[in-house]
Amino acid sequence: MLALVAGISVLAYLYRAHLPARIAEPLGLRADISDIRARQVPLLTRALHQQGLTFGAPVFLRIFKEESVLELWVENDGTFSLFKTYPICHFSGDLGPKLREGDKQSPEGIYHVTKSALNPNSSFHLSFNLGFPNAYDQSLGRTGSFLMVHGNCVSIGCYAMTDPLIEEIYVLVEFALEHGQDRVPVHAFPFRLTKTRLKEAAQSPWHGFWQDLRPIYQAFEATKKVPTVSVKDEKYHLN
């Protein structure tokens, strides 16, 4: 039996390896993580070097729902430089935070990705867990699970990217964690929290929540250093 299973696995690998990419991808026959690393590492190393950045340096992610973008920043001499802005293929729900399991709402707030959150064998190509509910969400009794950034461009509460883009993002996050970063911060915002845009959103029931997030957004905009954030009295606080 073991020999049969092994034989089938080898045949499946050989079958996938000889399929054109345009056929293999719709069939869900995606490359495994070792293939992805082998392809992405030299490309990303070169692209980072062209911007004076180092592959494996600490990274920081910012998400803006209104623009449907994910920014990836890389640390360079103590501050962060924008490496790339990736279009989000799909997220679900509206502007505003996730409240409960099953509301199909993508989260907003301050999250972190650790090594244990990485899933190279995800059903959605590649994924990493944002860690919802965090301490802030828990203080308000919010519920939900498996809120991810992943591939496959489908979402019921996650931030979904196309498969080629999640490969870049995943490998950059993975190698930053492998090279000493203990956790990758992810700041998920409804929009860029400028004074003007917040004024336009004054009638939203989430205006107060977004006002609490604004000092965190402003601190990074001003210094290009990721601020330290704590949770107290059911609010985010900039330390």
Q: Which of 89, 125, 158, 187 is catalytic?
A: 158
Instruction: Give the whole-angstrom CA distance, residue 135 versus residue 230.
Output: 9
Does 89 participate in catalysis according to the annotation?
no
131-166: pLDDT as tens digits: 999 999 999 999 999 999 999 999 989 999 999 999
CA 173 – CA 184 distance, rounded (Å): 7
Tokens of residue 50, six digits: 């062209």
For 26-35, 107-116, 175-184, which range has the lowest pLDDT when averaged over its residues?
26-35
- 153 conformational bin, left if phi > 0, alpha if psi -120 to 50, beta if neither: left
Confidence check: pLDDT of 197 > 90 = yes
- pTM value is 0.87
* pLDDT tens-place string over residues 106-118: 999 999 999 999 9
**179 given a catalytic annotation:** no
Q: DSSP letter at 158?
A: S
Tokens 């623009």 correspond to what residue?
Answer: 67
Decide: residue 213, CB within 10 A, 0-12 exposed, 13-18 middle, 19+ buried: buried
| pLDDT above 70: residue 80 | yes
* Plot region of 144 (φ>0 → left; ψ -120 to 50 → alpha; else → beta): left
Q: Which residues contact 30 (CB under 8 A, 6 or more apart)?
A: 24, 125, 163
Mean local confidence (pLDDT), 223-228: 98
User: Residue 60 — very low, low, confident or very high, per pLDDT cuts 50/70/90?
Assistant: very high
Structure tokens at 24: 């293999």
Give pLDDT, residue 30: 62
**Which residue in the block uniquely carries the two structure tokens 């950059």?**
172
Summary mean pLDDT of the chain: 90
